[in-house]
Structure 1
Amino acid sequence: MIDRETVKNVAKLARLGLSEEEIDIFGSQLSVILENIAILREADVSGVSPTSHASRLTNVMRDDVPQPSYPPELLLANAPDQEDNYLKVPAVLDGGES
């Protein structure tokens, strides 16, 4: 089973606030998911081409047409930092400001 600290770290990275009870629940669920992934990794896929798909559909994309969007306030509601309806991130170049 995944330990509580790992669950807390994953939750922090995903910006999720979890209660103590949720940490236990998600710990067991993540453990089951990882066990299933380990089983899938054992499957012999040597005869399957890397671009195989379960569906034979070739173009399932819609036309790229402008659609109504969500209001910026809603989209940025969980952003750690924002300014003028933009997501604000730390500077990555020397001498720059965020």
Structure 2
Amino acid sequence: MALTSDDVSRIAHLARLELKPEEQAAMLQQLNGFFGIVERMSAVDTSGVEPLYTPLSAVQQVSLRLRDDAVTEADHRALNQRSAPAVEDGLFLVPKVIE
């Protein structure tokens, strides 16, 4: 998947970046290089390879430090919403700002 100068211009516009022509050419080369690496990585057959939750687990045994899923704080929703101008069913009501 090779990008064109038009693609880089569109991406720059969406990101609200102003690129000079030489910057655009450099960015095109960098992005195409990145996508080339992604394509090479996608071509590797990874069937039968177990996913790692951390790269460290490939070289040594790692135990997960999990904690109990327990409530540790009281519910302060009503207290926090007292200063809100408008609340309904536990939700903050805000004015519509987008047409």
TM-score (norm 1): 0.52
Give runs of ≥4 in structure 1 deviating > 6 Å.
none
SS in 2 for 1:43: coil
Larger RCO, structures 1/2 (Cα 8 Å, 6+ apart): 2
Please list every run of 5 or more consecutive structure 2 residues that lacks an aligned counterpart in the other structure: 66-94
CA distances 1:19-59 after superposition (whole Å, capped 9, x unpaired): 11111111011111111110000111112234443123646
Structure with the largest fraction of helix: 2
CA distances 1:3-33 after superposition (whole Å, capped 9, x unpaired): 1110011112222221111111110111111
- Percent identity of paired positions between Structure 1 and Structure 2: 25
Taking structure 1 as reference, are residues 2 and 49 closer, same or farther at Cα in structure 2, changes over 3 Å only?
Answer: same
Aligned to 1:16: 17
TM-score (norm 2): 0.51
Aligned to 2:54: 53
In structure 2, what is the Cα distance between the partners aligned to 1:54 and 1:13? 34
Please list every run of 5 or more consecutive structure 1 residues that lacks an aligned counterpart in the other structure: 60-94
The structure with the largest alpha-carbon Rg is 2
